[in-house]
A and B are shown apart, each in its own frame.
Chain A
Amino acid sequence: MAVQAITTTLGEAPQPRRQRLLEDERWLAFFLIVPTMVLLGMFIAYPFVRGILLSVTNSRVGVPGDFVGLANFHKIWNDSIFRTSVYNTFLYTGVTTVFKLSLGLWLAMLLNRNFKGKAFTRAFILLPFIIPTVLSTFAWKWMFDPTFSVLNWLLFHVGAITGRINWMGDPDLAMISIIIVNIWRGVPFFAISLLAGLQTISPELNEAAAIDGAKPWQRFWHVTWPLLLPVTMVVVLFSVIQTFADFQIVYVMTGGGPANATHLFATYAYQIGIGTGLLSEGAAISLAMFPVLLLVVVFQLLYIRRVETR
């Protein structure tokens, strides 16, 4: 009797209004999405739209500016430094990605084996990734310093060079230097992500292939690599986007020099927009990389989907 009484009162208790609202899936979905939308709107959509608006005006620091259409884009198109920085950005992204991928993969395969001190080594590998970029880049700057370069000292003492190399003074060497630093900084991310990918591949598959008569490189090519490809694509996608918009390393190492020879999109946009105060032109430069990145993202996402549904 008592039980019955309780259940009936429970069943008849009027639900609060708010609770009923949340029971409707459409409303619930809306409520759940709102925080994300607000964050995305505030920190991504708004600055992006402001950037576009800025790029079609002639505003400078302290001057609101008027609408000038695509004049800024026209101007940078004819700017030789801009063209150099476009070339540099592609070169920088391309070369570093190839090296980061191959070195990262190599490290990941080594770390995927069983050996003493595995956990320690894995943590150690992450160091370049953990140290604040500006800090580590300063260290590298010293290593490439014309006078105090430890690299020069080393090369000199093993007899590879006779004079000192002016790493930062030569456009090509400066470019090579920042590429080296970017690779050094990016490899851990590749290594750890690919290691995570490798660990999802059952060792039995490699054993089965070994019994099937596949030599080590055949096992890699026919089994490991195809199964790792989806992870690889995501990692490359992330890395390409980050490298394409890289700023810190170049800013600290060369500042875009010597003679504007090592500018990337981001550093040049910063120099024009903030350094020179031509806000609208800076906005135009940084927006110029948007179509390229969009293409990269679309292409890779399509590719990832194809690989995954294969």
Chain B
Amino acid sequence: MGQVVLKDINKFYDAVHAVIDVNLQIRDKEFVVFVGPSGCGKTTTLRMIAGLEAISSGDISIDGTVVNNLAPMDRDIAMVFQNYALYPHMSVYDNMAFGLKMRKFARPEIKKRVNEAADILGIGDLLKRKPRQLSGGQRQRVALGRAIVRHPRVFLFDEPLSNLDAKLRVQMRVELKKLHLRLGTTAVYVTHDQVEAMTLGDRVVVMKDGLVQQVGEPLDLYNQPANKFVAGFIGSPAMNFSTVTMADGNGRLTAKNSGFELEVPAAHGDRLRGHVGREVTIGIRPEDLHVATDADPVGLTFPSKVEVVEQLGSEILLDVRAGTDMMVAAVDPTVRAKVDEQLRLAVNPARIHFFDAKTEAAI
């Protein structure tokens, strides 16, 4: 079992309100990822679950027991630190065995578990080495091994992959996912990398300035972001935002600014009718833009001028100017666009997002 419940969690560092009213139920076997920009309180939240940081108010419970006042060792959790925190004077074997020794496991059992973990992670032939004789990726595995051998109720990860190079990071990401499927242990994972969050998480918690912005499955965050922040944070390249004024032309709603006038799809109509005459923020993902053809209704296209062409192979990113706004469009790799070319772009109507200009909440 490994069910973690955060109830009204707050954390103050003197005047800094680092974590604000966090509520979350983490189910057994679930992989939950906290993601957000630097300083948003992810690490602090994780450390409070670990018991390394006292909580200012609220309750944390694991499997129904409130653990607010339990020492880290009594919470039956294991943590993987960003810098691995391997004991530099101990061999790989001793690093992994330390937690079991401290918990007075019998020698054969320790040996069995360490070897088992080493096999899973493919570090069986490194057991005699010291951490400093290992590469970054190998250290990472040892740190994972140290967590695995304990068979804890919850794994806690604080940006465990951020010190690895890009390629290794992708590889370890896949391995982590497999490991989780294999072990089925509840995991709480902190990262500032939204791709990591999307690929690893069963559910993702997006945080900003100590506040939880949205909790949901990766695709839900992508398709129905709760606010402008989540919309801009999830997805790469980031969503395009423009400020538009809503207008009502003979019962047809339009979103208009200096660069374009888009017909608002009927599905959004009811929700937006109240905003007629006011400004709202419109959000369009780069991948929801394409070069307009005759098949596209005119009301969903707008003129633009190409300023930069980024060839990525699988797709082309066009940095275009539409009115006073800059936008990015991810278009088909067969498109031959040149800088300064005038291009008509079309929007996928089902995938336009609207946000309140003031509260930034999704409309």
Contact = CB atoms under 8 A, between A and B. Distances in A.
B103 A204 contact: no
A187 to B, nearest CB: 27
Contacts of B83: 202, 204
A211 B51 CA distance: 9
Contact of B73 (A204, A212, A223, A227): A212
A205 interface: yes
Contacts, number: 57
B87 A223 contact: yes
A210 B72 contact: yes
Given A207-B52, A207-B72, A208-B79, A214 B102 contact: yes
B45 to A, nearest CB: 16
B89 A211 contact: no
Nearest to B82: A204
* Most central of B51, B78, B79, B83 by chain A CB within 10 Å: B79
Summarize B's interface: helix, strand, loop or mixed. loop
A209 B98 contact: yes
* Most central of B50, B85, B146 by chain A CB within 10 Å: B85
Contact of A222 (B51, B77, B85, B98): B98
Given A212-B99, A213-B99, A213-B103, A227 B72 contact: no
Interface residues of B, number: 22
A284 B175 CA distance: 71
A205 B85 contact: yes
A213 B73 CA distance: 4
Interface residues of A, number: 18
Interface in B68-110: 71-73, 77-79, 81, 83, 85, 87-89, 98-99, 102-103
A118 to B, nearest CB: 15
Interface string B319-348: 000000000000000000000000000000
A218 B99 CA distance: 11
A226 interface: yes
Interface string B37-72: 000000000000011100000000000000000011
Contact of A211 (B72, B87, B88, B130): B72
Interface of A: 202, 204-205, 207-215, 218, 222-223, 226-227, 310
Given A207-B81, A209-B87, A211-B77, 18 more contacts: A202-B83, A202-B85, A204-B85, A205-B85, A208-B87, A209-B102, A210-B52, A210-B73, A211-B99, A212-B73, A212-B102, A213-B73, A215-B73, A218-B102, A222-B98, A226-B89, A310-B89, A310-B130
